[in-house]
């Protein structure tokens, strides 16, 4: 976490370390965190679809937009069904702020430099999401359906991480 490009993951790192104010997040906050985390990656993916120079990076970005939009739709449908309103939290706010800072940084890059920065952030970000799922979000979820949904989307985040690591190793 030595550069600004990792700021978006900071909120998830804090959450993964269970440093969350005075207590673990409640279900409404978990829903808010899930939506914020997915939205951050959707926004970065949309930018990478436009600015990426490597066709594999652009294809990965398109997959991120598609997959994370799907997770957000799933989360939105679940919270409606459960009659839970996603609640903002310091973690969700940190994710949104970090996501915007990452977008601002990426906008100033071009070509291979952009591709590398985008993929490096995707590796860090997906690892942070997995850590947050494992250490905080899944264990803190009180509703069984919410917990099951979080457990169900985890393999997709692992697949995204492995794909991003593969692209990262090809760029070195």
- Over residues 109-139, the pLDDT tens digits come to 999 999 999 999 999 999 999 999 999 999 9
**Res 10: pLDDT:** 45
- In this prediction, what percent of the chain has a pLDDT beyond 90? 72
Average pLDDT over residues 56-66: 97
**Res 23: pLDDT:** 67
Of 151, 97, 102, nearest in space to 124 by CA: 102
Average pLDDT over residues 136-149: 94
Higher pLDDT, 3 or 146: 146
Average pLDDT over residues 34-56: 96
**Res 84: pLDDT:** 86
Residue 17 has pLDDT above 50, yes or no: no
Residue 172 has pLDDT above 90, yes or no: no
Residue 8 has pLDDT above 90, yes or no: no
**Res 95: pLDDT:** 87
Check the CA dihedral 1-43-164-13 and report its sign. Answer: positive
Residue 7 has pLDDT above 60, yes or no: no
Of 1-5, 40-44, 77-81, least confident by mean pLDDT is 1-5
Provide CB contacts within 8 A for 151, sequence distance 6+.
Answer: 138
User: What CATH number should be reported for the domain holding residue 19?
Assistant: 1.20.1260.10
Residue 144 has pLDDT above 70, yes or no: yes
For residue 6, name the pLDDT band (cuts at 50, 70, 90).
Answer: very low
The total number of structural domains that make up the chain = 1
Q: Which domain holds residue 110?
A: 4-171
CB 31 within 8 A of CB 91: no
Stated pTM of the model = 0.86
Burial class (CB in 10 A: 0-12, 13-18, 19+), 140: buried
């Amino acid at each position: 976490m030595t550069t600004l490009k990792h700021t978006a993951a900071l909120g998830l790192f804090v959450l993964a370390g269970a440093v969350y104010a005075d207590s673990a997040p409640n279900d409404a906050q978990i829903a808010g965190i899930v939506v914020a985390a997915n939205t951050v990656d959707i926004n970065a993916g949309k930018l990478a679809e436009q600015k990426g120079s490597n066709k594999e990076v652009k294809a990965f970005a398109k997959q991120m937009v598609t997959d994370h939009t799907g997770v957000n739709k799933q989360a939105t449908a679940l919270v409606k069904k459960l009659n839970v309103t996603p609640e903002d939290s310091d973690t969700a706010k940190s994710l949104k702020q970090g996501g915007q800072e990452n977008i601002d940084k990426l906008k100033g890059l071009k070509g291979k430099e952009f591709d590398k920065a985008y993929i490096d952030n995707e590796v860090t970000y997906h690892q942070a999401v997995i850590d947050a799922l494992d250490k905080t979000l899944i264990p803190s979820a009180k509703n069984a359906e919410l917990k099951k949904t979080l457990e169900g989307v985890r393999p997709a985040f692992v697949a995204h991480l492995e794909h991003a690591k593969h692209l990262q190793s090809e760029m070195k």
